[in-house]
Amino acid sequence: QSVLTQPPSASGTPGQRVTISCSGSSSNIGSNTVNWYQQLPGTAPKILIYSNNQRPSGVPDRFSGSKSGTSASLAISGLQSEDEADYYCAVWDDSLKGPVFGGGTRLTVL
Amino acid sequence: QVQLVESGGGLVKPRGSLRLSCAASGFTFSDYYMTWIRQAPGKGLEWVSYISISSSYTNYADSVKGRFTISRDNAKNSLYLQMNSLRAEDTAVYYCARSKWNYDPFDYWGQGTLVTVSS
């Protein structure tokens, strides 16, 4: 049982826009910034979005993040086949004094 | 370029021990917090432990507290995880990752090393 709640799966067709939600609490999302990681099949996770909505260099602007209260969202526009991956939200938890992750969302491009 | 390379994984019996290593290169190792994160087969990511820049502060997930010990050697640009009293539920790929502070995002990850606990 993960501290952060994500839908286990999401899907879309090429060119569509999909969103992935991440729900937490006042001790994590409610008081800290959210990061998103992308894990392509068989590889290590990679930072996708940090500080709620910042993209590291090299990440396409098709990826965007937002946060409101104790929830966050990752949006992917202009969906491409190479976006098929697992996506994880993560945030520092003040109570646990450590980072917590969502259970992950598997994105399928139909 | 930044590289994190884990090693030391393998097959170990329940109640056995294993020591993982993470060799860092391409950046000033002593400027970063280091963290171990694991992923059980087919499951999500789970934070295991982190260590501060000077090793003065460490913290552990409840699931490994008292059994695992994190350490680092800044002179050797290396991070370690001593795992004792291993259980079947510790079976996972173990990643090392770096961050500027313990609450910062993990901007680089290693490729992972698989630990299998089975009789």
Among B101, B96, B99, which residue's Cα sits nearest to residue B23?
Answer: B96
Longest Cα separation, chain A? 40
3-state secondary structure of A46: strand
End-to-end Cα, chain A, rounded Å: 28
What does DSSP say about strands A9-12 and A105-109: parallel, antiparallel, or unpaired? parallel
Distance from the Cα of B6 to chain A's closest Cα (Å) equals 12
Tell me the pLDDT band of A1, cut-offs 50, 70 and 90. Answer: confident
Decide if pLDDT at B111 tops 90. yes
Q: How far apart are CA B82 and CA B21, in angstroms?
A: 9
Proportion of chain A above pLDDT 70, given as a percent: 100
Non-local CB neighbours of B1 within 8 Å, separated by 6+ positions: B26
Of B47, B109, B110, the CB nearest to A101: B47
Please answer yes or no on whether B61 and A50 come within 8 Å at the CB atom.
no
Decide if pLDDT at A2 tops 90. no
**Chain B residues 74-103 with a CB less than 8 Å from chain A:** 95, 102-103
Could you read off the pLDDT of B12-70 as tens digits, one per residue? 999 999 999 999 999 999 999 999 999 999 999 999 999 999 999 999 999 999 999 99
Residue whose tokens read 């294993």: B18
HEC string of A97-108 equals CEEEEECCEEEE
CB pairs < 8 Å spanning A and B: 51
In chain B, which residues have their Cβ closer than 8 Å to the Cβ of A101? 44-47
Task: Determine how many CB atoms are found less than 10 A away from the CB of residue A96.
Answer: 15
Among A109, A69, A66, which residue's Cα sits nearest to residue A89?
Answer: A66
Q: Bridge-partner residues for A35, per DSSP?
A: A90
Of B35, B47, B112, the CB nearest to A100: B47
Could you read off the pLDDT of A38-83 as tens digits, one per residue? 999 999 999 999 999 999 999 999 999 999 999 999 999 999 999 9
Q: How far apart are CA A4 and CA B4, in angstroms?
A: 27
Decide if pLDDT at A90 tops 90. yes
Average pLDDT value for residue range B96-114: 96
User: Two tokens at B65?
Assistant: 């507290």
